[in-house]
Amino acid sequence: MMRDDPDRVRASQRTRGADESLVDALLAADDARRAAVARADTLRGEQKSLGRDVARASADDRPALLAKARHLADEVKAAEADQAAADETLREIHLAIPNIVEDGVPPGGEDDFVTLEIVGTPPRVDDPRDHVEIGAALKAIDTERGAKVSGARFYFLTGIGAQLEFALINLAMAQATEAGFVPIIAPALVKPEIMQGTGFLGAHDAEVYRLADDDLYLVGTSEVALAGYHSGEILESLPLRYAGFSSCFRREAGSYGKDTKGIIRVHWFDKVEMFSYVGVDEARDEHQRLLAWEREFLDKLELAYRVIDVAAGDLGSSAARKFDIEAWFPSQGAYRELTSTSNCTTFQSRRLNIRTRGERSNAPVATLNGTLCAIARTIACLLDHHQQPDGSVHVPAALRPYLGGREVLTPA
């Protein structure tokens, strides 16, 4: 694998507030591995030619050659064991190092994001009710029975709630298809190597559901399956754009007490996700395009929102840069994340061995992902954001064709 510039990696680690000494460990491990490989290669070469000599040797010469070959075989075995150990050491360090952050990413942690733009005016709502209350009145969301059947952070969408999900999916898929994305319904269970390759088993593996009996993982986003879709392949034509629909599962470990009410933070939800494979040089532009498509969707939902540039310390291990869009929740008097788009550059493609034909040899591609619509949270936002004084909920014009033309939602 091509070596990244150590200074860039070091700078990136510093920006993230991550361990810089890993870079030195990586370099040392890489050198050790190269040496071990060279040694094993040489010995294997000797063994190979000696093997040919044995095959050609006369009956008289053979015993002496075999004795030599036996000795050499021991050496080869030892050298190969060394190589395997060196490979493993390098691999472990490599997995511990997150993607190199893009130039311009704000340093710092969760609170150090930079607001890029504020769009729309937050609606003025007196005594706003939250989506739980509104959802209950509309008989759209049933969190009590969700808890009864599946536990905390589960819910039922009923009646208009269920219809809202289908409407959002259809609106999102229509937009994505229009933009040239291939619609995909993706599996929600994936193999370990796919989960590993997308970068979800690093620091945040406690967040992921694992089915131990079957050695499968439940995806937290269809990004995982969409990245795995072309794993091990050489892509002939770029870009490739997919709009994936799948259920998403998150353990929400470490988020005790956060958003415990309602369906903003849940263990399971459905999502339409955009995923792009592009050439490395195109990645930054594609990231902007994904952001634009996310904005287009939220504009259709008539939501007030802001766009933020997520700080380095708050990036996932696979992301070189991440933009979140946070929409206004009147009941909370705050902007809350609705969508997120990440440029993963070659982080995933290297781990999943996804390449394209380059000038001299095959080159890794860049992968990017962006939320089009995380359904549950979007429904929560719609109810909250579009609530009316009379207790009804305004239906955005773009959504009406998918809801039988309804313009308002009123309690039955």
Partner RNA sequence: GGAGGCUUCGCCUAGUCUGGUCUAUGGCGCCGCACUGCUAAUGCGGUUUGGGUCACAAGCCCAUCCCGGGUUCGAAUCCCGGAGCCUCCGCCA
Question: Which residues would be at the binding site for RNA (CB under 7 A)?
Answer: 1-2, 34, 37-38, 40-42, 44-45, 47-52, 54-56, 66, 69-70, 72-73, 76, 355, 360-362
Bridge-partner residues for 141, per DSSP?
157
**Does 145 qualify as catalytic in the annotation?**
no
Residue found under tokens 């709009």: 243
Tokens representing residue 60 in the block: 């008289």
Shortest distance (Å) from residue 270 CB to RNA: 17
- Of the listed 337, 350, 400, 406, which one is catalytic? 337
Q: Point out which residues pair with 218 in neighbouring strands.
A: 189, 209
Please list the alpha-helical segments (H only) found in 244-374.
Answer: 283-300, 347-351
Active-site residue flag, 340: yes
User: Are the CB atoms for 209 and 200 separated by under 8 Å?
Assistant: no
Nearer to RNA, 38 or 334 (CB): 38
Would you say 68 or 394 has its CB closer to RNA? 68
Cβ closest to RNA, residue 233 vs residue 282: 233
Smallest separation (angstroms) from RNA to the CB of 360: 5
Pairing of strands 182-185, 141-142: unpaired
**Residue placing its CB nearer to RNA in the complex, 40 or 171:** 40
Q: What angle do CA 281, 283, 285 make, to 5 degrees?
A: 100
Q: Which of 16, 284, 306, 377 is the catalytic position?
A: 377
Catalytic: which of 16, 153, 250, 336? 250
Residue with tokens 């939320």: 371
| Token pair in block for residue 180 | 């040239």
Mark whether 265 is an active-site residue: yes
| In the complex, minimum distance from the CB of residue 91 to RNA, in angstroms, rounded to a whole number | 14
Judge whether 377 counts as a catalytic residue. Answer: yes
**Which is nearer to RNA, 73 or 162 (by Cβ)?**
73
To the nearest whole angstrom, how small is the minimum distance from the Cβ of residue 199 to RNA? Answer: 20
Structure token digits, residue 393: 């909920």
Q: Which of 265, 289, 321, 351 is catalytic?
A: 265
Q: Which residues pair with 364 in a beta bridge?
A: 355
Residue type, 335: Y
Q: Which of 317, 340, 342, 349 is catalytic?
A: 340
CB 369, CB 347: distance < 8 Å: no
What Rg do the C-alpha atoms of the chain give, in angstroms?
A: 26
Q: Which residues are designated catalytic?
A: 250, 265, 337, 340, 377
